[in-house]
Amino acid sequence: MNVLGWAGPRLRGSLGKARGFLPAPRRPREHAPGAGPLLIVGWSELVPALLRQFAGNARPVTLLADRPAAELRDSLALRLPPRLLAQVQLASGDPGDPAILAHLDVEAAETILLLRPVARDPLSTQLRTLLALLPLRRGKAGILAEVDGAAASDAVRGLGRGTVQPVRARALAARIAAHAGRVPMLGEVYQTLLGAGLPAISVGDHPSLEGMPFSEATLVFGEAVPLGILDASGRAFLNPSPGTPLGDGLRPILLASGEGDAHVSALPLDIDRAALRAQSTAPRDPERILLLGWSDDVPAIARDLRRAVPPGSVLTVAADVEGLADKVAALPLSDGPLSVEYGRLDPTDRSVVASLSAGGYSRIIVASEEGTADARALATLLALGARPAPGVVALFAEERHEPLVEATGSPAERIYRDRLAALAFAFAARPGPAAAILDDLLDAHGMQIALRDPAELLDPDRPVNFFTVTEACRRRGELAIGHFIHRDPDPDVPPTLVLNPIKARRVSYRAGDRIVVLLQGSV
């Protein structure tokens, strides 16, 4: 559809070829939940992954960005199959201009994804767009705004007054990159927890639990795990302080296989207290971590590393970017357990990498430098070669480069930021408390997911049920939500992740099994 000529002064000249501006309001069509119209506002490398994640089942999609429509079409044509591209209506113009938005059926959109703009002041630009969007929504919820940091999260939530949910989409990739190498199965936990289908997450109404401290409530559900609480304003607090009482507007957030399983158990509490072990206080050795390259993800990676490493740990940064000294100085690492050293070095140079790798690093993180289409990260992997130890993790911007990554033959663990960001958006778009859970989970000061060796918590010679596991973690201020457990007698077969196991069922843990916990503080 050609853009209306009378709107021309407010639109780019190239908009004559754009589609997506409507000459008159259309009567909204009925759509199944999760299949209604989708509006993506803004442009970044996340857009193709978001379309792959959201645009199934012929879902109508409109993309509005302040770029020429022909440029949008060409960029998407390189990244999407023709069938998917045909579903997308392209509109070009300033998303913060009400006159532009007036030609889109903003109210009819089931979900609006507001991407974080590339601008000198991204938050101000984003708030300006929200001010233009909100009157057209007429109080309808369903806006998911990509943010970076707590201040931006609070700002968009406050402006939206219950209709806008912040999504720290890029923080998920940074979180996994910070822990991969030392905790290689952690990425699977995040992706399973946030993935489609399972598990079911709901908010419970249980009058019988009124006044019960949250930590005690973790033991009363036989087939569900209370993840945290939702307050009256819609904010989620995962694994809150143990004495936090339920009731008075605080309701439990429950992880269950299905909604019917989120009920209080009638079974007597069965805890094998003889199997519980005292908490170990053995200190961990400091870590040396090598970061090769630089990207906008590095500050978030540094924040998560700071929370995870023991005192005396060192982060070494080797990157060939302008202003490296200023970038390093701005990292959020002051007065913490992690110090930083840096050098402007070329991480794609084999001799440089070989010299650095001799420094006794416990793990190596490869960052994809901005604007390089992942090329320098690929070259850095080639410079590293087949290096199984220490653990290497590479963070790439776009999943479409996966065949090229495979061709390097590198044993590195691979993380694709656009894939994980799309997963975060899809999780946040679920009905219920999903967006609020994600916001607390990815907050720089919020909860973290960690893996515990069962032998640190329990007598390895005694079969135990998950009530006992829950109690062992509860004593440490941690919340058990699942486990990795070997189901095959062959020790070479990796353990299987089970979230929300049936608590009454007894298991015998083996070497390599892990308990999945939510905790505040050091992983």
Verify that 292 and 149 share a domain, yes or no: no
Q: Which band of pLDDT confidence, cut at 50, 70 and 90, is reported for residue 256?
A: confident
Verify that 416 and 488 share a domain, yes or no: no
Q: For 105-128, what is the mean pLDDT?
A: 92
Task: Report how many domains make up the chain.
Answer: 3
Q: Which band of pLDDT confidence, cut at 50, 70 and 90, is reported for residue 9?
A: very low
Q: Which of 121, 151, 167 is the last residue of a domain?
A: 167
Question: For 446-467, how does the pLDDT look when each residue is reduced to its tens digit (9 = 90+)?
Answer: 888 999 999 999 999 999 999 9
Q: 10-24, 179-193, 339-353, 503-517 — which is least confidently predicted?
A: 10-24
Say if 511 falls within a structural domain: yes
Cis, bond preceding 390 (omega within 30 deg of 0):
yes
Say if 487 falls within a structural domain: yes
Residue 22 is predicted with a pLDDT of 36
pLDDT at 255 over 70: yes
Of the two residues 445 and 236, the one the predictor is more confident about is 236
Q: For 202-228, what is the mean pLDDT?
A: 88
Question: For 43-65, how does the pLDDT look when each residue is reduced to its tens digit (9 = 90+)?
Answer: 988 999 999 988 876 788 999 99
Q: For 252-258, what is the mean pLDDT?
A: 83
Verify that 479 and 406 share a domain, yes or no: no
Question: For 496-514, how does the pLDDT look when each residue is reduced to its tens digit (9 = 90+)?
Answer: 999 999 898 999 999 999 9
pLDDT at 24 over 70: no
pLDDT at 19 over 80: no
Question: For 480-497, how does the pLDDT look when each residue is reduced to its tens digit (9 = 90+)?
Answer: 999 999 988 888 888 999
> Of 306, 310, 275, 305, which Cα lies nearest the Cα of 473?
275
Verify that 408 and 461 share a domain, yes or no: no
For residues 101 and 95, the answer to whether their CB atoms sit within 8 Å is yes
Verify that 373 and 499 share a domain, yes or no: no
Q: Which band of pLDDT confidence, cut at 50, 70 and 90, is reported for residue 3?
A: very low
Verify that 402 and 457 share a domain, yes or no: no
Verify that 412 and 298 share a domain, yes or no: yes
d(CA 519, CA 473): 10
Instruction: Please calculate the CA angle 323-329-330 and round it to the nearest 5 degrees.
Output: 95
pLDDT at 259 over 80: no
Residue 18 is predicted with a pLDDT of 35
Sign of the CA dihedral with 391 first, then 397, 401, and 403 last? positive
Residue 359 is predicted with a pLDDT of 81
Say if 226 falls within a structural domain: no
Question: For 386-440, how does the pLDDT look when each residue is reduced to its tens digit (9 = 90+)?
Answer: 765 568 899 999 999 999 999 888 888 899 999 999 999 999 998 888 999 999 9
Verify that 40 and 154 share a domain, yes or no: yes
Question: For 294-312, how does the pLDDT look when each residue is reduced to its tens digit (9 = 90+)?
Answer: 999 999 999 999 988 999 9
d(CA 300, CA 313): 17
Q: For 22-27, what is the mean pLDDT?
A: 37
Residue 341 is predicted with a pLDDT of 95
d(CA 102, CA 138): 13
Give the SS3 label for residue 251: strand
Domain that holds residue 325: 288-423
- Residue 273's contacts (CB-CB under 8 Å, 6 or more residues apart) are 468, 471
DSSP state of 386: S
Verify that 28 and 98 share a domain, yes or no: yes
Say if 179 falls within a structural domain: no
Residue 523 is predicted with a pLDDT of 58
Q: Which of 423, 458, 481 is the last residue of a domain?
A: 423
Quick one: what percent of the chain has pLDDT higher than 90? 58
Say if 269 falls within a structural domain: no
Q: For 332-340, what is the mean pLDDT?
A: 88
Residue 275 is predicted with a pLDDT of 94
Q: Residue 388 is part of a domain; what is its CATH number? A: 3.40.50.720
Say if 435 falls within a structural domain: no
Residue 267 is predicted with a pLDDT of 58
Q: Which band of pLDDT confidence, cut at 50, 70 and 90, is reported for residue 202?
A: confident
Q: Which band of pLDDT confidence, cut at 50, 70 and 90, is reported for residue 183?
A: confident
Q: For 119-127, what is the mean pLDDT?
A: 91
Q: For 208-218, what is the mean pLDDT?
A: 90
What average pLDDT does the chain have? 86
Verify that 303 and 366 share a domain, yes or no: yes
Say if 364 falls within a structural domain: yes
pLDDT at 152 over 70: yes
Which run of H or E residues covers position 265? Answer: none
Say if 49 falls within a structural domain: yes
Exposure class string for 15-46: b at 16+ Cβ within 10 A, else e: beebbbbbeeeeeeeeeeebebbbbbbbbbbb
Verify that 452 and 366 share a domain, yes or no: no
pLDDT at 21 over 60: no
Quick one: what percent of the chain has pLDDT higher than 70? 89
pLDDT at 130 over 90: yes
Q: For 319-325, what is the mean pLDDT?
A: 94
For residues 101 and 143, the answer to whether their CB atoms sit within 8 Å is no
Residue 90 is predicted with a pLDDT of 92
Verify that 18 and 163 share a domain, yes or no: yes
Residue 258 is predicted with a pLDDT of 60
Q: Which band of pLDDT confidence, cut at 50, 70 and 90, is reported for residue 36?
A: confident
Question: For 60-106, how does the pLDDT look when each residue is reduced to its tens digit (9 = 90+)?
Answer: 899 999 999 899 999 999 899 998 888 899 999 999 999 999 889 89
pLDDT at 342 over 50: yes
Residue 385 is predicted with a pLDDT of 84
Of the two residues 21 and 298, the one the predictor is more confident about is 298
In terms of DSSP H, where are the helices of 95-233? 98-101, 122-137, 150-160, 171-179, 186-194, 214-217
